[in-house]
Amino acid sequence: MIVLQLDISEDRTLERLKTCSWWPNLKKDVSEYCQTCDRCQKANRDPGKKFVIMIQIQDSKSLWEIVHMDWVTALPPGGEISYNACLVLVDRCSKTPMFLPFHKDDTAMDTAIIMWNKVISHTGIFQNIISDRDPRFTSALWTNLHNQFGTKLSI
């Protein structure tokens, strides 16, 4: 097909096709084609998309000083209490993972209590927690805990 040999831009493709052919709904057909064309999609990224400047995370010099945390949800129910989510913690220094069973609808308070009882009581207070913007980590409760302990949440 001729369209495969044309420019990646929808406008250029349309202009070049107009020079050698015409059919009803030409513009609509070119637009639909370009929206499904793999080359077009890879080349034409959203110019309005905002990119975040990446910052380098410091290396941890001691165990459980810097911790990465994230949720794994929508798991099949398991265990006696039918847990369906898991909080994954990874120590930045040793790369040691820790997995805590949860329910996906547990609150920030539930998370804080279990973290205190199952993790912090054994590892000590983390200096920095690296996580996504999950509401359970960005709530007022966690903000207050970080302020009280002098720790930092990196999102």
pLDDT in tens, 86-145: 999 999 999 999 999 999 888 888 888 898 899 999 999 889 888 887 887 778 888 888
Q: Could you tell me if residue 70 is inside a domain?
A: yes
Q: What is the DSSP string of 50-73?
A: --PPP-PPPPPSSTTSEEEEEEE-
- Rounded Cα distance, 85 and 105, in Å: 9
Q: What is the pTM of this model?
A: 0.60
Q: Could you tell me if residue 49 is inside a domain?
A: no
Q: Could you tell me if residue 55 is inside a domain?
A: no
- Rounded Cα distance, 1 and 145, in Å: 62
Question: Looking at the 3D structure of the chain, how many domains does it have?
Answer: 2
Domain that holds residue 116: 66-154
Residue 66 class from Cβ within 10 Å (0-12 exposed, 13-18 middle, 19+ buried)?
A: buried
pLDDT in tens, 58-73: 788 899 999 999 999 8
CATH number at residue 143: 3.30.420.10
pLDDT recorded at residue 4:
47
pLDDT confidence of 46, banded at 50, 70, 90? low
- Rounded Cα distance, 66 and 74, in Å: 27
